[in-house]
Chain A
Amino acid sequence: MSVETLLQGLVSGLLMGFVYALIAAGLSLIFGLMEIVNFAHGEFLMLAMFATFWAWALWKLDPLYSLPLTVGLLFLFGIVVYHGLIRWILGAPMLAQIFATFGLAIFLRAAAQALWGVDFRVVKNPLVDGRLAVGGLFVGLPQLTASLGALLAFGFLYWFITRTETGLALQATAQDRQAASLMGIDTQRMFALGWGIGAACVGAAGALLAMFFYIFPEVGATFALLAYVTVALGGFGNVPATLAAGVVVGVVEVLAGLLIAPAFKYAVVFALYLVVVLWRPQGLFGRF
């Protein structure tokens, strides 16, 4: 296999990595706040992708234009999920928490199947199309846009968490719930906000992915697993670290596909998860 192919793979891995990072960031944020893993995260992504698709199919809105809509929609959805489901299981045993979001995942997937069928959908003729030739490498413009979009969104998230008052309140709640509430921070609001933002991240990622990815009810499953791996690599609760972790996952996925076999690329990523959590339980950059 040529160096060119390898470099090509690395580049596309890097690009996808940013998207994985954005998806994982939402997951990490939620976990950092309330120690709940959102097992329905992949389905949130799937909903975002479908929202983008329908905006295009029904109103001819290009994904780039409908992105703000999708983000807003998912933000609201996240808050609804918090108030409708999560709020009631905050103090519940871990088994109940795992199954609550799992149940939601199964429900959303089935609902999508019931509403829209199992067929693969695709957004045709997006605004951003074609390829870019850089050096000897080809980079798909939709992929590049998605990647840059994800990076931007990630940057915005980082700015929000570290530079705005609300963001700092979120961090405070994540670090010490009681102390934060003693300082006058409304924990419930922070939790709901966390879910909203977490979902919004996925919303952005979904809208971006819809530019070039097939859309179908099961699409969330693989992305979700990749997101778990990314979050575990970066350290649960460590949002900035998910950027590096996402890139690692993206690159490993591509390399595994090239060097071993395309059928095994996800298997290798999962194996990577196992290796990392066993060797360094706190992740590559985790806090504790």
Chain B
Amino acid sequence: MGRGLRWAAAAGALALLLAFPLVVTLPFPRHVMISIFLYAMLAQAWNLLAGYCGQISLGHAVFFGTGAYTSTLLAKHVGLSPWGGMLAGVVLAVVLSQCIGYPVFRLRGHYFAIATIAVGEIIGTLMINWDWAGGSRGLFVPIKRPDSWVNFQFHESKQNYYYIALALLLLALWITRRVERSRLGYYLRAIREDQDAAASLGIPVAAYKQRAMALSAGLTGLGGSFYAQYILFIDPESVFPTTLSILICLVAVLGGVGTFWGPLVGAAILIPLGEWTRIAFGGTGRAGDLLVYGALIMLVSVVQPGGIMALAQRGRRRTG
């Protein structure tokens, strides 16, 4: 497709997305779209670190939880507007990521992946036992009425949440594009391909990994704060578990790790699929969608580790 055509297609898609909630007013479809945007954004954030930089973190939920808890606790105890809380959440998530990254980035390969799981579990355990922050009972976001942008709460309809989630996704996409077309992007990919060669060309590897980590963690934290304001209840089980970390990875892997559109494609497929199986397999509850996820991921790993985007590339190359 020529560049002009691609831009037109993207603009058209964006127009459709913007118009969607005006046309579809039922809450459930809107919720599905919001979930797609959120997961796509989280997966895109993860993609920056894992796909572009090659550092496969399996504990990314800690940043999501940090964002969610920071904005909620600040709203509860200090009365800070959730927008300010969101910002604080981003800062805290970034700081946390640097603290984690400093020791953990010395590890490579499987050791690194397992270490991220370990960190995720440790922090999850801490949160469950931290009573001031709600412990295992969780926290309710203080309800503010009437609906307002300042308080970041809309009870009447999901429409504004929809637009905020879309904006966050667009932010993640924009950041990714900027990174791709900069020295940072090239350096991250070099680190992914061969760390030693990268170092031999003057790249301070640890520093750049931390940079990727900061971007990734910050974006993820942003998503966490949004989630808190959307669902209005958070607990360690919903924002910190390893299963969430895995789900974020799944979305990116299915769509195509290291590609620009991969996370969005993955979310667009996986989230509705999850909702559908949840409905179809009613009785067995969560098991149904996890069964499908598990099978899908095995399939992707074996058939095309590059995900759907890679399949699309292959098709395009053959015809073009």
- Beta-carbon contacts under 8 Å, B239-296 to A: 246, 249-250, 253, 257, 281, 284-288, 290-291, 293-296
Contact digits for A228-264, partner B, Cβ 8 Å, 1 yes 0 no: 1100100010000000000000000000000001011
* B284 cross-chain contacts in A, Cβ below 8 A: 113-114
* B109 cross-chain contacts in A, Cβ below 8 A: 94
Which one of A10-18, A98-106, A150-158, A189-197 is at the B interface?
A98-106
Q: Say yes or no: A274-B301 contact (C-beta < 8 A), given A104-B294, A232-B111.
A: no
- Interface residue? B92 (CB, 8 A): no
Residue contact B297 to A109, C-beta cutoff 8 Å: no
Closest chain B residue to A100 by CB distance? B301
In the assembled complex, the Cα of A267 lies from the Cα of B302 at a distance in Å of 33
Residue contact A266 to B121, C-beta cutoff 8 Å: yes
Which one of A50-58, A84-92, A122-130, A206-214 is at the B interface?
A84-92
* B121 cross-chain contacts in A, Cβ below 8 A: 225, 266-267, 270
Residue contact A104 to B298, C-beta cutoff 8 Å: yes
Residue contact B302 to A270, C-beta cutoff 8 Å: no
- Beta-carbon contacts under 8 Å, A57-113 to B: 85, 88-89, 92-100, 102-111, 113
In the assembled complex, the Cα of A273 lies from the Cα of B104 at a distance in Å of 11
In the assembled complex, the Cα of A263 lies from the Cα of B107 at a distance in Å of 27
- Count residues of A near B (Cβ-Cβ below 8 Å): 43
In the assembled complex, the Cα of A96 lies from the Cα of B210 at a distance in Å of 24
Closest chain A residue to B121 by CB distance? A270
Q: What range describes how many residues of B lie at the interface? A: 35 or more
- Interface residue? B115 (CB, 8 A): yes
Residue contact B110 to A95, C-beta cutoff 8 Å: no
Residue contact B294 to A105, C-beta cutoff 8 Å: yes
* A229 cross-chain contacts in B, Cβ below 8 A: 118
- Interface residue? B191 (CB, 8 A): no
- Interface residue? A134 (CB, 8 A): no
Q: Which of A89, A113, A271 meets B287, CB within 8 Å? A: A113
- Interface residue? B133 (CB, 8 A): no
Chain B nearest CB from A285 CB (Å) reads: 16
Q: Say yes or no: A111-B129 contact (C-beta < 8 A), given A228-B114, A281-B111.
A: no
- Interface residue? A3 (CB, 8 A): no
Closest chain A residue to B122 by CB distance? A267
- Interface residue? A278 (CB, 8 A): yes
- Interface residue? B42 (CB, 8 A): no
Residue contact B298 to A103, C-beta cutoff 8 Å: yes
* A274 cross-chain contacts in B, Cβ below 8 A: 103-104, 115, 118-119
Contact digits for B80-115, partner A, Cβ 8 Å, 1 yes 0 no: 000000000000000000000001101101110111
Q: Which of B50, B103, B113 meets A278, CB within 8 Å? A: B103
Residue contact A95 to B246, C-beta cutoff 8 Å: no
* A219 cross-chain contacts in B, Cβ below 8 A: none
Chain B nearest CB from A31 CB (Å) reads: 8
* A88 cross-chain contacts in B, Cβ below 8 A: 302
* B293 cross-chain contacts in A, Cβ below 8 A: 103, 106-107, 110
Q: Which of B56, B125, B249 meets A94, CB within 8 Å? A: B56
* B56 cross-chain contacts in A, Cβ below 8 A: 94-95, 98
Q: Say yes or no: A85-B294 contact (C-beta < 8 A), given A114-B284, A225-B118, A274-B119.
A: no
- Interface residue? A45 (CB, 8 A): no
- Interface residue? B117 (CB, 8 A): yes
- Interface residue? A37 (CB, 8 A): yes
Residue contact B110 to A114, C-beta cutoff 8 Å: no
- Interface residue? B126 (CB, 8 A): yes
In the assembled complex, the Cα of A261 lies from the Cα of B8 at a distance in Å of 60
- Interface residue? B164 (CB, 8 A): no
- Interface residue? B305 (CB, 8 A): yes
In the assembled complex, the Cα of A104 lies from the Cα of B296 at a distance in Å of 10
- Interface residue? B300 (CB, 8 A): yes
* B290 cross-chain contacts in A, Cβ below 8 A: 106-107, 109-110, 113
* A278 cross-chain contacts in B, Cβ below 8 A: 103, 106-107
- Interface residue? A34 (CB, 8 A): no
* A277 cross-chain contacts in B, Cβ below 8 A: 107, 111, 115
Residue contact B110 to A98, C-beta cutoff 8 Å: yes
Residue contact B106 to A270, C-beta cutoff 8 Å: no
Q: Which of A96, A106, A109, A264 has its CB near the most chain B CB atoms (within 10 A)? A: A106
- Interface residue? B75 (CB, 8 A): no
Residue contact B294 to A110, C-beta cutoff 8 Å: yes
Q: Say yes or no: A92-B294 contact (C-beta < 8 A), given A99-B300, A270-B122.
A: no
* A93 cross-chain contacts in B, Cβ below 8 A: 305
Residue contact A264 to B286, C-beta cutoff 8 Å: no
- Beta-carbon contacts under 8 Å, B52-69 to A: 56, 58
- Beta-carbon contacts under 8 Å, A151-191 to B: none
In the assembled complex, the Cα of A10 lies from the Cα of B91 at a distance in Å of 43
Q: Which of A85, A89, A225 meets B117, CB within 8 Å? A: A225
- Interface residue? B128 (CB, 8 A): yes
* A96 cross-chain contacts in B, Cβ below 8 A: 301-302, 305
Question: What are the 8 A-B residue pairs with the smallest beta carbon separation, nearest first?
Answer: A107-B294, A103-B297, A96-B305, A106-B294, A110-B290, A103-B298, A100-B301, A270-B118
- Beyond contacts A92-B302, A273-B118: 14 other A-B pairs, Cβ-Cβ < 8 A, are A37-B110, A89-B302, A96-B302, A99-B297, A103-B300, A106-B294, A107-B294, A108-B294, A110-B287, A113-B286, A236-B110, A263-B129, A273-B115, A281-B107
Could you write out 19 A-B pairs with CB less than 8 Å apart? A31-B110, A88-B302, A92-B302, A94-B110, A98-B56, A100-B297, A100-B298, A100-B302, A103-B297, A105-B294, A110-B288, A113-B285, A114-B291, A225-B121, A229-B118, A232-B114, A273-B118, A274-B103, A277-B115
